[in-house]
Every structure is written in C-alpha cells, then in structure tokens.
Amino acid sequence: MPSEMTAYVIDEFGDPDVFTERTVEVPEPGPNEVRVEVRASSLNPVDYKIRRGEIPDFTPEFPAVLHCDVAGVVDAVGESVDRFDAGDEVYGMPGGAGRDGALADYVVGHAGTFAHAPETLPLADAAALPVVALTAWEMLADKATVDVSDDVLVYGASGGVGHVGVQIARWLGADVTATGSTEAKRAFAADLGADATVDYTTTDAASYVEEYADGAGFDVVFDPVGDDHLQTAFEAVRPFGTVVTTESSSTQDVSALHANSLELGVVLVILPVLLGERQERVGEELADIAALVDDGAVEPHIDERFAFDAVADAHRLGEDGDFVGKILLEND
C-alpha cells in the first residue's frame, strides 16, 4: 500500500484554475470509516460554489480536496465496520463538504455514507448519482409523497437533479410535466419519460397549469433551480399542494404558503456529512437508489467525461451550463 497519493486541491477560493495537483499522504480510516480507491467523481453545483467561496462554512480545511460524489473500490475498513469488505465496489457521498472529498486517489468516509454500487452500471458511471439521486429521492419520497396519477411539475428537468427527478417521479406513477429552455432540453426530458414539456421562457405558469394540471395546479412542484423558479412554483402548485426545492437563499414572497395552505420542503442532502450525524441515512437511501437503477427505473445521463487532471475544464463547463445530465470525472 503506497503512503502517498495524488490529489487535486485548492489552497484558496478562486476560479477553475485554482486547482493544484499535489502529492499528499494516503488517509487512514478510523473507527466506523472505510477507505475507497477512487475510480470516479462527478460535478455538482455545490462543488463549484465551494470552490468559488460562496459557501465557506461547507469548505474542508485548506488545502481542501473537493467533490462530494465518488465511486470506487473499498481498500481498507476501520474498526466496527461490518457492512463492507476490501474489494467491494461502492458509491457514496463521504466528503467534499466539511471534510476532504473525492478528487484524489483515495477517500476516507463514514461507512454509512456508502452503499454497494449498482450492478448494471459501469462502476465509474455510478459516481454520477449520489448527490443528484439522493436529492431527487428526498424531494419526491420524503419531503413530498408523490403517488400514482399525481400531477408533478419538474423545473430544470435536463439538469443533474432534474433528470433523475423526472425518472423517479415516473417510477412513483406520477404524470410528469417538465420544463426546459431549449427544444433540445425539452426533447431530452421527454426521452426520460416526461408526459409533457414546457418552454418556461415563453409560457407563463397560468398557461401550463391550465393545459397540464386541469387549471387547478400541480400536486407537487419539484424545483432544483430556486430563485425566481421558486416564486413561480407557488403560482403553479394547487391549494394544499407541495413545493420541494433545493434552494431557499433568494428573497421571495411566501404569502402563497399561507393563502393556499401549501407545504414547502427544502432539501440539503449533504447535511449528514456536514453535521457528522445520521450518516447511515445516506447509505440506506443509496441502497434503494441502486435497486432502482438495477431495475431499470433510473439511469444517469453522462454528457461529458474528463480526467481528474482536467478538473478545471470540467468546472468551466459546469458553470457555463451548456450540458444536460451530469459531468463525470474519471481517475485515470
């Protein structure tokens, strides 16, 4: 076992070129932890927001190893770990926020933040799933309780969280209406299983509520975008309905919550890692998601692949937004 490894770190906040290749010590797993040899990670908005310094409380100590998602092979297990053995193929969300993440040859994390990887995906591709699939699952099956024939509106349906949200909502039996700003993005959402698509840049909420939700409003509005989308969600949901979102930092008029007796659910899926509490929840949900993948209900769409040493290029593409699904980084 080598004592040193390659990691891609940031010593300060900055633009995508702030990443530096560094030789560092291989971390040792403590009690209840596992060490994983990293095959791949993927890019999420939280990763570049941390890099830019927008959420400093989420940043690992400098020099910081970023990226929350990981897929790889268990290399060593700490005391009291009986769920995994060396050689197991796993995927998870062990760090990248609050503690060092996956942009390295090895990552250590609480055993509860991992699950056995889906058997029907290449191992590297499983790294596209943890943050986005956990977020979509908690939004639709925890904060909301989507049921058969519910009308569900999915904002940002071609994005990381959104494209998994469309698939999970369909699996739950919902009638899915998906939004997209371009014809290509709307076609992508339809291919994922959306029953209808809407160009939200040219159509107001009242129009698509009338056409796709019988004029009454959607049972659930799924919003992984936030900002003005959150305000529009209050217009699109029916009385007594539910809005679920990942973003609540913008200033919005929430009077509709009272006027229409709405429920608002906010998901921060990395919170167990940040707090070091309820981390087993992550692995339990990832096991459920792996089962959905192996049953053919969910499949991550990987738009672009980069090597770890091209992490700056991956971040530039992520911030530009000219992609659908996920951006994968493979440790070559």
Do 4-129+270-330 and 144-266 agree at the fold level? no
What average pLDDT does range 96-115 have in this prediction?
97
Does domain 4-129+270-330 fall into CATH 3.90.180.10? Answer: yes
Question: Can you give the pLDDT at residue 249?
Answer: 72
Nearest 5°: the CA angle 314, 294, 107 is 45
pLDDT at residue 247, as a whole number: 81
Q: What is the pLDDT of residues 40-66, one digit of tens each?
A: 999 999 999 999 999 999 999 999 999
Contact 72, 39 (CB under 8 A): yes
pLDDT of residue 226: 80
In this prediction, what percent of the chain has a pLDDT beyond 70? Answer: 100
Residue 93 scores a pLDDT above 80? yes
Of 135, 115, 137, the residue nearest 126 (C-alpha): 115
Q: For the structural domain made of 144-266, what CATH number should be given?
A: 3.40.50.720
CA atoms within 13 A of residue 216's CA, in its CB half-sphere? 11
Tens of pLDDT, residue by residue over 192-208, are 999 999 999 899 999 99
The band of 330, judged by pLDDT with boundaries at 50, 70 and 90, is very high
N-term to C-term CA, the chain: 18
The confidence score (pLDDT) of residue 251 equals 81
Domain ranges of the chain: 4-129+270-330, 144-266
pLDDT above 80 for 248: no
Q: How many CB atoms are located within 10 Å of the residue 89 CB?
A: 17
Q: pLDDT tens for residues 216-228?
A: 999 999 999 887 8
Is residue 329 pLDDT above 80, yes or no?
yes
**For residue 305, is pLDDT > 90?**
yes
192 secondary structure, DSSP code: H
Query: Residue 123 has what DSSP assignment?
Result: G
How far is the C-alpha of 242 from the C-alpha of 10, rounded, in Å? 39
pLDDT tier for residue 21 given thresholds of 50, 70 and 90: very high
Q: Looking at residue 143, what DSSP letter applies? A: I
Over the chain, what is the mean pLDDT? 96
Residue 229 — very low, low, confident or very high, per pLDDT cuts 50/70/90? Answer: confident
3-state secondary structure 272-324: HHHHCCCCHHHHHHHHHHHHHHHCCCCCCCEEEEEEHHHHHHHHHHHHHCCCC
